[in-house]
């Protein structure tokens, strides 16, 4: 399902950031079991009766992963932005790369949530010529799919 794909994409993104140490399906399954109280992500489509709110398990998984990421993502993005600014000042970025760094800044001015930070991270990684670990399901429309090597 699209929700399952988003959970996996978030899991792998947190691994790319160095937050999740083990990106395996087994590690994700352990996380799913701890948070959603089911043994497999495919079974996480219902609600958790032990919660005071009828939130769907996949929604709960997505939101907890985003909150976990936001404990680290703003600092990571700030560091990448500083690096991009220094590279631009040193003349090390092409016009396209500099434009991507500016787009990251603009994205952060538009909002401070998880999705804005993820977009900014992708723009900055591309601006700095670093590979993206895979294309996420809801990537910005102008982000190109990474080239697999």
- pLDDT tens digits for 108-149? 998 889 999 999 999 999 999 998 876 555 555 555 543 333
- 2: pLDDT confidence band, cut at 50, 70 and 90? confident
pLDDT for 149: 30
The DSSP string of 3-22 is: HHHHHHHHHHHHHHTTS-S-
- Mean pLDDT across 72-101: 96
pTM greater than 0.85 (yes/no): no
d(CA 130, CA 61): 28
Angle ∠(42,12,36) on CA atoms, nearest 5:
35
């Amino acid at each position: 399902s699209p929700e399952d794909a988003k959970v996996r994409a978030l899991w792998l993104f947190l691994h790319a950031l160095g937050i999740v140490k083990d990106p395996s399906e087994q590690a994700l399954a352990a996380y799913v079991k701890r948070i959603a109280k089911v043994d497999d992500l495919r079974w996480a489509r219902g609600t958790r009766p032990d919660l005071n709110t009828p939130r769907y398990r996949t929604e709960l998984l997505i939101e907890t992963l985003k909150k976990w990421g936001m404990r680290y993502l703003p600092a990571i993005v700030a560091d990448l932005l500083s690096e991009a600014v220094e590279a631009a000042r040193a003349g090390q970025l092409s016009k396209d790369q500099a434009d991507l760094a500016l787009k990251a800044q603009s994205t952060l001015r538009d909002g401070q949530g998880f999705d804005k930070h993820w977009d900014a991270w992708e723009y900055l990684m591309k601006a700095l010529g670093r590979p993206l670990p895979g294309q996420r399901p809801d990537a910005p429309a102008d982000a190109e799919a990474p080239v697999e090597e």
